[in-house]
A = this chain, B = another copy of it.
Amino acid sequence: MGLTKSEIFTDEQNEIAAIAKVLGHPARIAILDYIIKLKSCVCGDLVKEIGLAQPTISQHLKELKKVGILKGTIEGTSVCYCIDDENWKEINNKLSKFLSKNPTESCC
């Protein structure tokens, strides 16, 4: 046990969950907040800005990249992380679609 039974859910359910899961950590929200605020790429000052060790930030960035929210381009010795606008839109659509599913009136 301890392992999610993905096989019993639909692809859509697994996908929504996977996206939400990545957004389910304050460090990753903070990283996105920071990158979005600067409106441009950000490199290793995330480590200074957010109070976490460099390997930890690197790990979080990796997860954000894995679901496609971020993309990183190497710039000399540092790496520039940005929002992947296309994917962000798609992710936004998918989550919004899910969130707008609610019936107006629940029974209890």
Chain A interface residues (CB < 8 Å from chain B): 4-6, 8-10, 13-14, 16-18, 20-30, 32-33, 36, 39-41, 50-52, 71, 73, 80, 82-85, 88-89, 91-92, 95-96, 98-108
Contacts and interface: CB of A to CB of B under 8 A. Distances in A.
Contacts of A73: 108
Contacts of A10: 30
A43 to B, nearest CB: 11
A26 B40 contact: no
A51 B8 contact: yes
A4 B17 contact: no
Contacts of A104: 85
Given A41-B107, A83-B106, A105-B85, A21 B14 contact: no
A17 B28 contact: yes
B88 A92 contact: no
Contact of A4 (B22, B26, B107): B26
Contact of A24 (B24, B41, B92, B102): B24
